[in-house]
Structure 1
Amino acid sequence: MANFDMANFQECMRNFAAQTGGFVRDGCQQYLENPTAPEPNTCAACGCHRNFHRMVIIRNHVHGPNNEAGNNEQNNVLQVENPNERLPRTRFSDYQRHRMNQYAGQLHWIMPRSAVGNAELASFCAEIGITRHSFQIWMNNQRNRR
Structure 2
Amino acid sequence: MPIAKNDIQTTADIDRLIQHFYDSMLEDPIVGFFFTDIARINLAQHLPRISKFWQRQLLGLNHYQGRTFEIHQQLHQRAELNADHFHRWLFLFEQAVNSLFAGERAELAIGKSRAIAQSMLQGLQDRQMETVLKNREQQGLQFFNPKP
Say yes or no: TM over 0.5: no
| TM-score, with structure 2 as normaliser | 0.21
Higher percent of residues as helix: 2
Higher relative contact order (CA 8 A, sep 6+): 2
Higher percent of residues as strand: 1
| TM-score, with structure 1 as normaliser | 0.22
